[in-house]
């Protein structure tokens, strides 16, 4: 018992930091899991599900009515948006690497607002590494989105008929929704970076930002109920 009390008194700052981190992951991960399930079972109740249905209908219209110019312009806008976000992720990655190189100088300044968390350089570097991984995921997600949009740009302009080589609107819509899913993952990593960045200032700020982000995402991801 005495050894346990000694352990807690010695490492309680580490325990608080890691406990809040795990709690934030469980909160945001549980919300995302519930959102995916609801999007599959009741797609018209979520923005994610409704957009997937709208993209499938849009592909059907473009390929049946030969609206090639509209398709190219729309996909170009999506590609430019994903490219911009991927480029921004690279810039943020370089900034975090610079912070890692100057961790001994920047860390003490951020600990002013960190009354309950650990002040050890190792924990602070771990936090920066997790933020770095987050933006690496964002970069690869947006890059895969660009790749998907480029593929759809070719597929959607294939004429329907005997020479379509089995390319149907349903298959093209599947590729488009997959590219959009990668874009959505990239945006989620941007959102999730907010609690990770505030974690540098202390676990209390991470917990507050996690709850705030959860409320904002719940408002953005769900459509308001309308009476018939």
- The C-alpha atoms of residue 171 and residue 168 are separated, in whole angstroms, by 5
Q: Which residue ranges make up each domain of the chain? A: 2-37+47-221
**148 and 182 in contact (C-beta within 8 Å)?**
yes
- The C-alpha atoms of residue 142 and residue 214 are separated, in whole angstroms, by 23
- The C-alpha atoms of residue 167 and residue 109 are separated, in whole angstroms, by 58
Predicted confidence at residue 190, as pLDDT, reads 95
- Kindly report the number of other CB atoms within 10 A of residue 105's CB atom: 9
| Residues facing 222 on adjacent strands | 46
DSSP, residue by residue, 12-42: HHHHHHHHHHHHHHHHHHHHHHHHHHHHHH-
Q: Residues 122-143: pLDDT tens digits?
A: 677 888 899 999 999 999 999 9
Positions in the chain short of pLDDT 70? 1-14, 103-122, 161-164, 225-228
Radius of gyration of the chain, Cα coordinates, nearest whole angstrom: 22
Predicted TM-score (pTM) of this structure = 0.85
**189 and 141 in contact (C-beta within 8 Å)?**
yes
Predicted confidence at residue 110, as pLDDT, reads 59
- The C-alpha atoms of residue 75 and residue 154 are separated, in whole angstroms, by 10
Q: Is 222 helix (H, G, I), strand (E, B) or coil?
A: strand
Q: Map tokens 């505030």 to a residue.
A: 198
Predicted confidence at residue 156, as pLDDT, reads 85
- The C-alpha atoms of residue 11 and residue 186 are separated, in whole angstroms, by 35
Q: Of 12, 2, 46, which is closest to residue 184 (Cα–Cα)?
A: 46
Predicted confidence at residue 108, as pLDDT, reads 60
Structure tokens at 120: 């050890």
């Amino acid at each position: 018992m005495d050894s346990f009390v000694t352990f807690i008194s010695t490492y309680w700052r580490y325990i608080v930091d890691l406990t809040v981190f795990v709690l934030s992951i469980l909160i945001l991960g549980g919300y995302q899991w519930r959102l995916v399930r609801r999007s599959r079972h009741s797609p018209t109740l979520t923005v994610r599900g409704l957009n997937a249905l709208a993209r499938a209908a849009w592909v059907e219209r473009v390929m049946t009515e030969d609206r090639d110019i509209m398709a190219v312009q729309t996909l170009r806008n999506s590609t430019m948006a994903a490219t911009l976000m991927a480029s921004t992720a690279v810039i943020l990655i370089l900034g975090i690497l610079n912070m890692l190189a100057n961790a001994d100088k920047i860390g003490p300044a951020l600990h002013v607002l960190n009354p309950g968390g650990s002040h050890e350089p190792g924990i602070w570097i771990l936090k920066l590494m997790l933020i770095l991984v987050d933006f690496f995921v964002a970069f690869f997600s947006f890059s895969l989105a660009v790749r998907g949009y480029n593929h759809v740009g070719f597929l959607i302009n294939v004429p329907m008929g005997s020479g379509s080589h089995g390319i149907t609107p349903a298959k093209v819509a599947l590729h488009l929704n997959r590219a959009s899913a990668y874009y959505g993952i990239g945006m989620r990593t941007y959102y999730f970076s907010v609690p990770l960045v505030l974690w540098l200032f202390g676990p209390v700020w991470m917990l507050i930002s996690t709850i705030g982000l959860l409320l904002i995402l719940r408002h953005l991801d769900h459509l308001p109920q309308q009476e018939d």
